[in-house]
Amino acid sequence: ETGVTQTPRHLVMGMTNKKSLKCEQHLGHNAMYWYKQSAKKPLELMFVYSLEERVENNSVPSRFSPECPNSSHLFLHLHTLQPEDSALYLCASSQGRWGIYGYTFGSGTRLTVV
Amino acid sequence: TQLLEQSPQFLSIQEGENLTVYCNSSSVFSSLQWYRQEPGEGPVLLVTVVTGGEVKKLKRLTFQFGDARKDSSLHITAAQPGDTGLYLCAGRVANAGNMLTFGGGTRLMVKP
């Protein structure tokens, strides 16, 4: 399968649950990203993994924890989320640090916290 | 205040009409990208512009980067229902790291 694949596409979880979002890319890219897309807000960068280095947005709560075991796979571990965390979570990859040539996005995981 | 302001936020037009959407900032960008996002999908890259005054065409879509590299526009000729979606601009501020910043988007609906 080509492109960036995210699973699951939809997730409903309670505030006390622990779940993980998965992303994989088969494009040979060397950087991967997690973005949050909420209604009426711009895309918000959460985490970047580039050449085994992690960069994070300091405003992201610790209940979100990323993991990047290799250049093709990226996870976002979720724990004790709040209803305001409900959003579309997008994974992206790029060739070259910071995606100067553009990002390839997955279809996203629509997360609802109840 | 967002670094990148997109206007209009919403646009509903009839098939065949022309339209222009804008992406503006007070900052200078080293490069700027346009993406289109369809419902239930992730954004898809349309174009990257890097030179002030640059114009790029993609079929019926014309992208322009401002001379001062602070703004950009997307013009669609003879819009079709398939053009419906959320149009996002994203830029890198010159001399301020390489983080890509997204605008809030223009939601376009083209009615048949």
- Mean pLDDT over each residue of chain B, to the nearest integer: 93
- Residues in B touching A43 (Cβ below 8 Å): 43, 88, 90, 102
Report the C-alpha gap between A13 and A91 in whole angstroms. 19
Q: What is the pLDDT of residue A95?
A: 87
CB–CB of A102 and B33 under 8 A? yes
CB–CB of B45 and A104 under 8 A? yes
- Residues in B touching A100 (Cβ below 8 Å): 31, 92, 98
User: A97-110, pLDDT tens digit by residue?
Assistant: 677 778 999 999 99
Half-sphere exposure in the Cβ direction for B108 (13 Å, CA): 31
Report the C-alpha gap between A89 and A71 in whole angstroms. 19
Percent of chain B at pLDDT above 90?
A: 81
Query: Measured between CB atoms, which of A98, A102, A107 is closest to B45?
Result: A102
Q: What is the pLDDT of residue A47?
A: 92
Residues of chain B where predicted confidence (pLDDT) is lower than 70: 1, 95-98
Q: What is the pLDDT of residue A103?
A: 93
Q: What is the pLDDT of residue A97?
A: 66
Report the C-alpha gap between B112 and B16 in whole angstroms. 9
Is residue B109 within 8 Å of residue B87, measured between CB atoms? no
Give the position of tokens 């649950």: A17
The rounded average pLDDT for each run of 10 residues, N- to C-terminus, in chain A (114 residues) is 88 93 94 92 90 81 94 95 96 82 93 95
